[in-house]
Amino acid sequence: MKTRREFLKAVPEVVLAAAGLTVLAKAAAKAAGVGGAEASDTMGRMVADLKRAMAKPADQRRWAMGIDLRKCIGCEACTVACRSENKTGPGVSYRPVLVENTGTFPEVKRTLTPKPCMHCEKPACLAACPEGAIKRTPDGIVYVNYAACKGVRACIPACPYEVPNFDDGGYFTDNTPAVQAYEKAAAYEMGVKLARNKDGKAPMGRTRKCTYCFHRLQSGTLPACTTTCIGHATFFGDLNDTDSLIFELSVSSRMRRLKESEGTRPTTFYLV
């Protein structure tokens, strides 16, 4: 066992080693284009784009989200932020990150794909709902009208992207001494105050999905996944604004959309 004197002698070495790792981490982030002034400028530009978009009538803007797969590090900060923002229960995730491992060691590859709603211009879920509970706003947000949704779930198999989730009313802290208060806290999807209270009322017993954080947009704030992305891999804005960052990215040669053959015309796209 080390004496106190021997331990104190080792402290400067540990501090220097930690400092060295910090420098290396910052250098790696800079090399990958993550963080720093560039990231700050990008966020500032998106905020300015959002402000311009919100000054227009809804039918004159067209929301879209872009995700740079080269920058995604698989941290799932977006998933956690989305869950916190929308108060989703077990089995309901608006922003999962899909992980695919391919190859054989040592030649292996991991692909990370965040998957929010595609907010299609021709949504298959909307066409499949027998209750007419799925709607599309003039600016392109596809959402579930909880007041009309009966929990039929026809939209779930209809979506080619497997986006809709069913809220069965469970809590993460079920089968513990007490269900925690934060699980019953209200969310404000589509600007409506809703709490998960196991009273049979919405959003429990309904199909749920990403809304591009409609309620945040109305207050001039970007979606939660966009503002919390550690790799600065998520972009948002108005496709009808040719001066916006999202429009610039949408015409990039790297731009791809999932399952374009389905004819749904998704407004969420990827940079590969």
The DSSP H or E segment spanning 99 is strand 97-104
Q: Give whole-number Cα distances, 5 to 9, 14, 214, in Å.
A: 6, 15, 59
Mind listing the pLDDT tens digit for each residue in 103-112? 999 999 999 9
Domain extent listing, the chain: 38-271
The DSSP H or E segment spanning 65 is strand 63-68
pLDDT band at 200 (very low <50, low <70, confident <90, very high): confident
Name residue, tokens 């999962």: 96
Mean pLDDT value of segment 111-125: 97
CA–CA gap between residue 221 and residue 67 (Å, rounded): 18
> What does pTM read for this prediction?
0.84
Q: Give whole-number Cα distances, 104 to 54, 73, 109, 111, 165, in Å.
A: 49, 21, 9, 14, 33
Low-confidence winner among 89-93, 199-203, 245-249, 263-267 (lowest mean pLDDT): 199-203
Query: In b/e form, how buried is each residue of 187-226, taking b as 16+ CB within 10 angstroms?
Result: bbbbeeebbbeeeeebbbbbbbbbbbbbbbbeeeebbbbb
Mind listing the pLDDT tens digit for each residue in 36-72? 556 679 999 999 999 999 999 999 999 999 999 999 9
Cα atoms in the 13 Å half-sphere on the side-chain side of 111: 9
CA–CA gap between residue 271 and residue 246 (Å, rounded): 11
The yes-or-no verdict on residue 139 having pLDDT over 80 is: yes
- Type of residue numbered 7: F
Instruction: Say how far residue 236 (Cα) sits from the centre of its chain.
Output: 11
Q: Residue 122 CB: number of other CB atoms within 10 A? A: 12
- Of the candidate CATH numbers 2.40.30.10, 3.30.1330.10, 3.30.70.20, 3.40.720.10, the domain formed by 38-271 belongs to 3.30.70.20
